């Protein structure tokens, strides 16, 4: 199996030049995140990802997690790897120093998380969910809850989960039936079933802290009556150590298409006296609190799309460099070349490379927006960055996962028939990638959020701010003497025009028939994805064309990558505009009874 090696040069370039780190580490609290420190963190993460996590990926896929009846046994090597992960301090990278974390910026943690996900997605899911639970408790919990749970969750001694979904309630959380009965001032008894709980049961830690969405008896119907509870696997004693077993258990784990080593649990709460749960914050505000976790998770899942695509690209590239098969049309060499010389294989590899780099840049820039939205001193500036992060999050989640799935499929195609054979490993990335478009809100949910909350609700203000910024950046690129820069600027301009016309159409038609924007929402999300991704590559090309300090070989490759994306991917914007503005009616007019 081909080992994973993090693309550190591109990661550093994005963090330093596109995010940029200088704007983030100038903020109070992030001053210690210097380039030297960040570089050391990235080097260390690459070593851990390539030497510890990556070798377990294939074994984890083949063996998987096993439900024993009493619990869940993780795949061989998982316990040892997790212990090393905790001892090295990786779990607390972005967490507050107050609770034992290192307090590094999200943009840095974004790069590190990409490595974990590329090396071993099934493993990376555990700390990802824990991070979301930490953030929810830190932001919405009380002082006692933060003191009792966060230090051990930040260290990784305990893990955390998110419990939303039930058999009858998928994305429709208004249908949640789990109930909470009062058992004291802030203590409740939880009863109900939750499904699809990632790492809901495992053998890696001494305790698991479940965050459970449930309805207090007598609360209003719908999402307005949901509350959020801390429900630990083991109740804590007076010293804060795991004591008696709570009334909850893992009934089974799902048999999945991919991510086999990540246990996806069916959790039962309150089969006897009721699982003890502690209310987080105020009653009936659970969904609001849970969205703290959800937004964190949506960005993280979008990053999984980037990571899986990068891993699939590395495997396809290495295979294409070694596979000897036939001579491509027009080849005049004496020896038979490897398939990387075949134009169509080269096209597929360039599609993978350029798309991965576009997605990476967009995800990191989104992470930096969260950093600045949290710590910028000027209230208006902070609000601007929060608005930008909110706008980019559904694009990162939706576009990066859908594109990651497409690229994982391309990776199989590059391998030809060998890609369809499990032993080569290419198929695992395709299987693992498939879930990323579904969980933490399907692509349709992200598209609906982008259209409804992020576009129509504010009359397109945030969208127009970003369109103007992209347009201004293109103007500087258009004045370059490099012919490829003119091509890039022209392609971006055309795509921006298509996106602007689409935005105008959505704003004009959203109030006439709300079904029209909904019918075109997935295409709208993809349109935003390829335009913002192309914008990031154009920014990178501009830097490489004008800054002589950039490594010459890296700069040449980056410019060529941006040019390919502009010529091969950005033209899709015109078709997406047509699908949305002229094709949405064909969706709503079709009689569902005729399907």
User: Which residues have a catalytic role annotated?
Assistant: 440
Compute the distance between CA of residue 530 and CA of residue 538 in angstroms, rounded to an integer.
12
Residues 6+ apart with CB under 8 A from 221: 174
CA 213, CA 78: separation in Å to the nearest integer?
A: 29
Give me the DSSP letters along 462-480. Answer: HHHHHHHHHHHHHHHHHT-
Vertex 103: Cα angle to 23 and 130 (nearest 5): 120
Name the token pair of 187.
Answer: 């203590």
Joined together, the tokens standing for residue 133 give 């639970």
The one-character DSSP state at 169 is B
DSSP assignment of 132-144, as one string?
HHHHHHHHHS-HH
Helix, strand, or coil here: 386?
helix
SS3 for 218-244 is CCCCCHHHEEEEEEECEEECCCCCEEE
Distance of CA 98 to the CA centre of its chain: 26
Contacts of 489 (CB under 8 A, 6+ apart): 474, 475, 477, 478, 480, 538
**Spatial separation of the C-alpha atoms in residues 457 and 383, rounded to whole Å:** 16
| CA-based end-to-end distance of the chain | 44
Integer Rg of the chain from CA: 24
CB atoms within 10 A of CB 428: 26
C-alpha distances in Å from residue 541, one per residue of 214, 322, 343: 50, 30, 24
Closest among 262, 228, 231 to 249, alpha carbons compared = 231
Q: Decide: 20 and 12 in contact? Cβ < 8 Å.
A: no
Residue pointed to by tokens 């022209």:
490
CA distance 530 to 355: 9
Judged on CB neighbours under 10 Å (0-12, 13-18, 19+), 316 is: buried
Whole-angstrom distance, CA of residue 544 vs CA of residue 480 = 12
Integer angstrom CA distances of residue 50 from 261, 383, 447, 568: 18, 38, 34, 32
The two three-digit tokens of residue 590, written as one number? 């079709």
């Amino acid at each position: 199996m081909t080992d994973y090696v993090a693309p550190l040069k591109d990661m550093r370039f994005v963090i330093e030049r596109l995010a940029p780190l200088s704007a983030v580490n100038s903020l109070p609290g992030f001053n210690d995140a210097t380039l030297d420190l960040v570089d050391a963190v990235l080097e260390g993460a690459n070593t851990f990802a390539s030497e510890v996590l990556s070798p377990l990926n294939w074994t984890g896929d083949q063996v998987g997690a096993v439900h024993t009846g009493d619990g869940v046994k993780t795949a061989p090597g998982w316990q040892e790897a997790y212990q090393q992960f905790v001892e090295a301090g990786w779990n607390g990278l972005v967490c507050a120093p107050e609770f034992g974390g290192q307090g590094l910026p999200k943009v840095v943690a974004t790069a590190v998380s990409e490595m974990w996900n590329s090396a071993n997605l099934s493993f990376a899911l555990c700390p990802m969910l824990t991070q979301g639970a930490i953030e929810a408790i830190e932001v919405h919990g009380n002082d006692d809850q933060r003191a009792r749970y966060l230090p051990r969750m930040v260290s990784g001694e305990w893990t955390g989960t998110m419990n939303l979904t039930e058999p009858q309630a998928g994305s429709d959380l208004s249908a949640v039936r789990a109930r909470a009965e009062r058992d004291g001032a802030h203590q409740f008894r939880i009863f109900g079933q939750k499904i699809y709980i990632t790492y809901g049961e495992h053998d890696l830690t001494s305790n698991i802290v479940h965050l459970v969405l449930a309805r207090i008896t007598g609360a209003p119907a719908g999402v307005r009556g949901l509350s959020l509870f801390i429900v630990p696997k083991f109740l804590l004693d007076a010293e804060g150590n795991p004591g008696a077993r709570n009334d909850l258990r893992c009934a089974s784990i799902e048999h999945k298409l991919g991510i086999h080593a990540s246990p996806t649990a069916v959790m039962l709460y309150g089969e006897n006296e009721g699982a003890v749960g502690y209310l987080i914050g105020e009653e009936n505000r659970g969904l609001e609190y849970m969205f703290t976790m959800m937004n964190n998770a949506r960005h993280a899942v979008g990053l999984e799309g980037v990571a899986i695509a990068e891993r699939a690209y590395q495997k396809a590239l290495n295979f294409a460099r070694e596979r000897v098969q036939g001579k491509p049309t027009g080849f005049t060499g004496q020896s038979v070349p490897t398939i990387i010389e075949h134009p169509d294989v080269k096209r597929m590899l360039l599609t993978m490379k350029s798309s991965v780099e576009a997605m990476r840049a967009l995800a990191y820039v989104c992470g930096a927006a969260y950093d600045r939205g949290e710590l910028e001193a000027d209230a208006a500036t902070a609000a601007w960055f929060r608005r930008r992060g909110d706008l980019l999050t559904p694009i990162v989640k939706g576009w990066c996962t859908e594109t990651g799935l497409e690229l994982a499929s391309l990776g199989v195609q590059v391998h030809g028939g060998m890609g369809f054979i499990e032993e080569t490993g290419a198929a695992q990335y395709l299987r693992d990638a498939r879930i990323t478009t579904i969980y933490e809100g399907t692509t349709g949910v992200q598209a609906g959020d982008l259209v409804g909350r992020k576009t129509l609700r504010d009359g397109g203000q945030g969208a127009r701010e970003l369109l103007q910024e992209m347009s201004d950046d293109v103007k500087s690129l258009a004045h370059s003497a490099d012919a490829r820069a003119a091509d890039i600027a022209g392609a971006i301009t055309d795509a921006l025009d298509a996106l602007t016309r689409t935005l105008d159409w959505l704003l004009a038609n959203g109030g006439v028939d709300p079904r029209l924007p909904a019918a075109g929402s997935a295409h709208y999300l993809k349109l935003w994805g390829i335009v913002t991704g192309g914008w990031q590559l154009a920014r990178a090309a501009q830097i490489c064309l004008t800054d002589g300090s950039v490594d010459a070989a890296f700069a040449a490759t980056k410019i060529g990558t941006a040019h390919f994306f502009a010529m091969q991917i950005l033209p899709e914007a015109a078709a997406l505009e047509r699908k949305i503005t002229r094709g949405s009616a064909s969706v709503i007019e079709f009689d569902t009874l005729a399907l």
